[in-house]
Structure 1
């Protein structure tokens, strides 16, 4: 059986709001975003089993508040619910980073009360989603977003911006889309980091957007980095 986890970041204060955490990076993804800065994780194979990850946690004792499950796309792994059950038994809060492509999996995790926080990647609007992600999964993303809203999950929405893929006008429309669908919260926007290995040979991105360019009465647009 293929190993699920590519690598572990043993400690982070940045990836789980107000929590000390580690990150389990899951191998594989069903999107091929042109700006993806984790090409080795997305296209590579796992190196660690679930047991390896649990042994890592058990050796550390209870030094962490939470676990971030990232990737790649962690929700593609069929044994994920059982793994999270073991994390919860050990007393950890669990955050999932997801592209939103597996609403059925997310529905199951929510129903079993296995996740505490979600970071949902908003890649692009329908008209440019395929060009950005090399996938036809916008409908799945939309179902996941609606699911999180319906269940009042604690979650954030985030977007990576490369100036040749998402323009200022595009981002304004994305903010409006979130308003219309009923999202009220923080919308994190991060500029693409130039000179970073990616899945495609993108030209340098222009950092020509600022948070004050985007007004919303219900959404707080926050630029990271």
Structure 2
């Protein structure tokens, strides 16, 4: 994906790489000091050796959380099936009618499959959305909550506001935070705004 609001343009465009051996060497020095490791991105499940990498991390005794956009449901399913991850944060970018514009990809059905896999699994997970007022309208946001309910999602739905004045993949207008002053929670979904 090439999300318009992505604040990791260097990583998405292929810069800022750290090799796995360096990370594993660092983690060996942190045994007993750290509880877990978060793999994010870009999209961590795209790496060809992600499963072997996570196995190495797990053998050191660390818990593993992944941050994913849900674009790789087969890898997500394997990680859950093989008990290689302990927690997942799934990014819900937008609804189908705005997904392609916001993400510059046609991967909504993959996201949908990943959401279904997580709902059916026993692994703890969260759904979260980065909210930019120019990209997601209030009506879209209400419909995103309805969409999650239609998929039988229950629990916390985290909304993180786009951070204005930071480098992003695309030039965007300032986003306002007015949406956070309304309660969008439903009986089954608690909407939590993160700063």
For the residues of structure 2 that align with 1:73 and 1:98, how far apart are their CA atoms? Answer: 6
- C-alpha contact (below 8 Å) 1:211/1:223 kept by paired residues: no
Structure number with greater CO (CA < 8 Å, separation at least 6) is 2
> Which structure has greater strand proportion?
1
Correspondent of 1:124 among 94, 110, 113:
94
Q: Structure 2 matches for 1:1-225, cutoff 5 A?
A: 31-210=1-180, 212-225=182-195
- 1:47-70 per-position Cα deviation (integer Å, ceiling 9, x unaligned): 322111110011233201110001
Q: 1:207 offset after TM fit, Å?
A: 1.2
For the residues of structure 1 that align with 2:48 and 2:14, how far apart are their CA atoms? Answer: 18
- C-alpha contact (below 8 Å) 1:211/1:221 kept by paired residues: no
- Which moves more between the two structures, 212-221 or 143-152? 212-221
For the residues of structure 1 that align with 2:180 and 2:173, how far apart are their CA atoms? Answer: 21
Q: Give the length in aligned residue pairs.
A: 195
- C-alpha contact (below 8 Å) 2:31/2:60 kept by paired residues: no
- C-alpha contact (below 8 Å) 1:36/1:198 kept by paired residues: yes
For the residues of structure 2 that align with 1:139 and 1:132, how far apart are their CA atoms? Answer: 15
Gaps of 5+ in 1: 1-30
Q: 1:72 offset after TM fit, Å?
A: 0.7
For the residues of structure 1 that align with 2:17 and 2:56, how far apart are their CA atoms? Answer: 20
TM-score by length of 2: 0.97
Gaps of 5+ in 2: none
- C-alpha contact (below 8 Å) 1:183/1:219 kept by paired residues: yes
For the residues of structure 1 that align with 2:132 and 2:87, how far apart are their CA atoms? Answer: 26
For the residues of structure 1 that align with 2:22 and 2:189, how far apart are their CA atoms? Answer: 40
**C-alpha RMSD of matched pairs (Å):** 1.1
